Amino acid sequence: MTAEGQSDKMASGKEVHMTQRCVIEFLHAEKIAAKDIQRRLLKVYGDQTVDVSRVRWWVARFSSGDSDVKDKPSSGRPCTAVTPRNEERLDQLIRANRRITTRELCTELNISFNALQTMVASLEYRNVSARWVPRMLTQVHIEHRMQVCQDLLNQYEAEDDSFLDRIIIGDETWCHHYEPESKRQPMVWRHVNSPSKKMFKTLPSAGKVMFTVFWDRKAVILLDFLEPRTNHQL
C-alpha cells in the first residue's frame, strides 16, 4: 500500500470513529446501556467498531453533560522536550546557578533526564569539579614571581649548571588541622569557554603547624614541623 493509500485509510478510520461517537450519543439519549450500544455498533461497523470500554467512556462523558464528540487537546509533555526554547531556558538556568543539579534542571524544565543530557551536550556544558590550588595569589604576587623566574633564567644562561649546584631552596607553609571539602561537593557546570574553577586548600582552622622544607637540585635537605607557641609557653 502506498503512503497516500495509508493516509486515506487513517482518515477514513477517524471518520468512522467520529460517526460512532455520534451514534453513541444518540443511543445514550434513548437510555440504552453501553454494552447494548456496542453490540448494535458491531452489527454495522464490524471490525472497525470501538470496544465496549471505549463506549462506556463516551457514555460517562455524555452523562456528565459534555456533548462534544471531538477529542480534547492532550496535556502533558510534548512528544520531544529537546526544543530551542528549552535549550535557551537551560542555558539561562545554568548561567544563573552553576551549582544547580540535574534533578533540579529536570524539575524546572519538566523534561526527562535523557532529554536533559541531549541538550547539555548540544550546549557543550560539562559538570566538573573545581581544580585544587595551594593558595590564592594577588596580581602583585604573580608579577613578582614572574620577575624572579626571569632573573634566575638570565643567570642560568650566563653560568650554566654551576649556577644550579649552588642553589638551596626553602619554603614553609601552615598545615591546618581540618578535613578539606571533597572535590565532588563543590561541582559546578562549566561551558567549554568558561574559565577553570578554583578551590583553595588553605582555610582558617582551629589548629595548625608550620611545615618547613629545604632542598637543592639533587635531594631534600631538611624537613621540619614547628608547633606555634601558646600563651603559657611564652
**DSSP-assigned letter for residue 231:** G
Contact 69, 29 (CB under 8 A): no
pLDDT-derived band of residue 179, with 50, 70 and 90 as boundaries? low
Lowest-confidence pick of 135-139, 140-144, 184-188, 189-193: 184-188
39-80 tens-digit pLDDT: 898 888 888 888 888 888 888 888 888 877 776 665 555 557
Beta bridge partners of 131: 198
Query: How high is the pLDDT of residue 10?
Result: 39
Task: Give the other-Cβ count within 10 Å of 151's Cβ.
Answer: 10
Q: Give the separation between CA 94 and CA 187, rounded to whole angstroms.
A: 12
pLDDT-derived band of residue 15, with 50, 70 and 90 as boundaries? confident
Bridging pattern class, strands 131-133 and 198-200: parallel
Task: State the average pLDDT for the chain.
Answer: 79
- Residue of 71, 56, 74, 60 lying closest to 17 (CA atoms): 71
Bridging pattern class, strands 208-215 and 220-226: antiparallel
User: Which are the contacts of 216, defined by CB distance < 8 A and separation ≥ 6?
Assistant: 165, 167, 168, 169
User: Which are the contacts of 30, defined by CB distance < 8 A and separation ≥ 6?
Assistant: none
pTM above 0.85, yes or no: no
Winning range, highest mean pLDDT, from 7-11, 175-179, 210-214: 210-214
Q: State whether residue 228 is helix, strand or coil.
A: coil
